[in-house]
A and B are shown apart, each in its own frame.
Chain A
């Protein structure tokens, strides 16, 4: 069995609260030891020793919200291309959204994703299944069978369940299978036709706005239903201070709720839309700077549990259009870590909390292996130079779609090596 010793690295393992210089020993598919104490542990026979002085080792990132075009829109992204992008971005596990064509609402589709991932992907791919058949918002999909076949969560993807009754049933039924319901909330009427944050800036651009209330009203409904049903509910993508407050209240009441945020809502604000730049058309929209600051605070204090890339590949056919006609979404797997590390370099969020939100917390929430460097865990880890500067270049993007919000952006912190189950799947 092959073994590697990563020596003299700064080890960041939120699962054990570790931030110390030490050694990580990988044997086969597993982590044998990681930490300062592992320095004194003898290396396995024939182990390769890599000096990681000045570098950091983190558990591989776990991205809980990734849209892939396979099946149905392979020209935008395949499972293989998403996997290559993930590996380069230090993401070792992805939770794949069910809004594909056909929709992942059936055991056969879950099996298709897992099979395709096994054959073509280097990172771990975990499908999330649709809450309702065909994402139509009416009949529940087969939670029990889907879960048994490997679906890790239930979500309507980009859509919001309009019916409070269906949400109540979904949360109640999911509880029996200890399944997580992840939901992005946007009121279909209040946010109808809205394409960016409602406010002065949208008014000048002549674009219709999405008010913050379009997110909060269905979220408040869901949080009440989570209290009522005791089901596990994840507010997948929140963007406003009021949403964070609502989640914090529900948590304080003992409801089994959590919250996620897309990295864009932590990195950018509505002014980045500039003169109708469609790559910055996102859902929820980029909000005002006050919202971004409030979300950073919510991430810091743990109200927001996880950060996702919300990777959403779109092609020229859906993006090279007038702003209001363009699709929303941006890719993000390859820039997730770099953009998140800005919050560390700025002193906004402690490094260990960041790594927790990017890896440990989502792994725990979605019940995935990984997210930890504890002995016995799968060797999903990344070697990172936390300070190395680099610039995002379109021609270096591995994703099949190029709709990044960070074209030309300066990043500080680069992934040097990515290991999935002990195998190197990316090295810079």
Chain B
């Protein structure tokens, strides 16, 4: 780990999505993350790789999990971390994203981590600032560090992702996690299925490199990994699905449905979970669940991403 140049140079300045990453890029980040896992498991968890660097979290959507994961990753690498709490800032007073970005940019950060409800917000920010930008979720577009941590979790448990069948289940339409995972799993050669009601599938889903299913029994058949997505309760109001109980009956993961997947199949969820909506407590807390590992891998992946983006060899190369 640290600045030892054991890893190849990451070719990108920003991490805005999985789109545009090659399998080599992805594996490089996963290899770095493997090393970061070891650091996080030591008693002394602090490195000095990013000492003197400034890392700003700019979260326009509330997020406990992702924001604290990024914060911890930055701190473990020795960076100075600042959280911009949007709820109490000038953003509430009508300042635009670009103006906020320009203000933050003037503070000379080295890395900006942004979460925003609008697709493309991270890309827009990246055009306007002089530092690296990490997309921590932009609308229904992408959430690349989530896909990386999911891939890392799977790789560490099951080995070669290219040999696996992964079923992504639930609200694919509104899910940035689903898009990023579809991209990363395809890049790594997995067979990807999506399972959910047709009202929650994006237009053109069959051309997105997945096999779509509307039945959990069919979609889970023989799957090595079952990845559940969060269903927002507002979706009932939007007439996407009629009720929670109907949704759980047909698309919620319980023991009966999981039985159709491969024995010992991994159960994943990006959190926060709606127990009894998309997943039963029995499964979420059961032996096949790797939901806690996902959280641990999250910190490691974010350390890996920040180290790769702020690789000191980049400056030496005059980039």
- Spell out A's residues near B (CB within 8 Å): 198-209, 211, 275-276, 317, 320-325
Neighbour of A276 across the interface among B119, B202, B207, CB < 8 A: B119
Measured between alpha carbons, how far is A200 from B206 in the docked complex, in Å? 9
Task: Show 25 A/B contacts (Cβ-Cβ < 8 Å), sorted by A.
Answer: A199-B203, A203-B205, A203-B208, A204-B179, A204-B208, A206-B119, A206-B138, A206-B142, A206-B176, A206-B179, A207-B119, A207-B141, A275-B123, A276-B120, A317-B96, A321-B97, A321-B124, A322-B97, A322-B119, A322-B121, A322-B124, A322-B138, A323-B119, A323-B120, A324-B120
Interface flags, B202-236, vs A, CB<8A=1, else 0: 11110110000000000000000000000000000
Q: Is B116 an interface residue (CB 8 A)?
A: yes
Query: B118 near A323 (CB under 8 angstroms)?
Result: yes
Q: Is B140 an interface residue (CB 8 A)?
A: yes
Which 3 residue pairs of A and B lie closest in terms of their CB atoms, listed nearest first? A206-B141, A200-B204, A276-B120
Q: Smallest distance from the beta carbon of A206 to chain B beta carbons, Å?
A: 3
Measured between alpha carbons, how far is A200 from B205 in the docked complex, in Å? 7
Most buried by B among A200, A205, A209, A317: A205
Please give, as numbers and ranges, the residues of chain A lying within 8 Å of B142 by CB-CB distance.
206
Interface flags, B110-128, vs A, CB<8A=1, else 0: 0000001011110110000
Please give, as numbers and ranges, the residues of chain A lying within 8 Å of B204 by CB-CB distance.
199-201, 203
Please give, as numbers and ranges, the residues of chain B lying within 8 Å of A276 by CB-CB distance.
119-120, 123-124
Neighbour of B118 across the interface among A203, A204, A325, CB < 8 A: A325
Q: 8 additional contacts, CB 8 Å, given A206-B141, A207-B140, A209-B203? A: A200-B207, A206-B142, A207-B119, A207-B120, A207-B139, A320-B96, A321-B96, A322-B124
Q: Smallest distance from the beta carbon of A212 to chain B beta carbons, Å?
A: 11
Measured between alpha carbons, how far is A208 from B118 in the docked complex, in Å? 11
Query: B119 near A320 (CB under 8 angstroms)?
Result: no
Q: Is B84 an interface residue (CB 8 A)?
A: no
Closest residue of chain B to A316 (Cβ to Cβ) is B98
Q: A200-B203, A206-B140, A206-B141 are in contact. Are A275 and B120 (CB under 8 A)?
A: yes
Query: B119 near A324 (CB under 8 angstroms)?
Result: yes
Neighbour of A203 across the interface among B123, B138, B202, CB < 8 A: B202
Q: Which residues of chain B (65-121) have a CB below 8 Å from chain A? A: 96-98, 116, 118-121
Please give, as numbers and ranges, the residues of chain A lying within 8 Å of B203 by CB-CB distance.
198-200, 202-203, 209, 211
Closest residue of chain A to B60 (Cβ to Cβ) is A322
Closest residue of chain B to A320 (Cβ to Cβ) is B98
Measured between alpha carbons, how far is A377 from B91 in the docked complex, in Å? 57
Most buried by B among A204, A275, A324: A204
Measured between alpha carbons, how far is A201 from B97 in the docked complex, in Å? 25
Q: Smallest distance from the beta carbon of B202 to chain A beta carbons, Å?
A: 4
Measured between alpha carbons, how far is A230 from B53 in the docked complex, in Å? 72
Measured between alpha carbons, how far is A295 from B196 in the docked complex, in Å? 36
Interface flags, B173-213, vs A, CB<8A=1, else 0: 00010010000000000000000000000111101100000
Query: A205 near B208 (CB under 8 angstroms)?
Result: no
Please give, as numbers and ranges, the residues of chain B lying within 8 Å of A202 by CB-CB distance.
202-203
Query: A322 near B208 (CB under 8 angstroms)?
Result: no
Closest residue of chain B to A322 (Cβ to Cβ) is B118
Measured between alpha carbons, how far is A321 from B98 in the docked complex, in Å? 7
Most buried by B among A202, A203, A206, A325: A206
Q: Smallest distance from the beta carbon of A324 to chain B beta carbons, Å?
A: 5
Please give, as numbers and ranges, the residues of chain B lying within 8 Å of A321 by CB-CB distance.
96-98, 118, 124
Please give, as numbers and ranges, the residues of chain B lying within 8 Å of A323 by CB-CB distance.
118-120
Interface flags, B135-147, vs A, CB<8A=1, else 0: 0001111100000
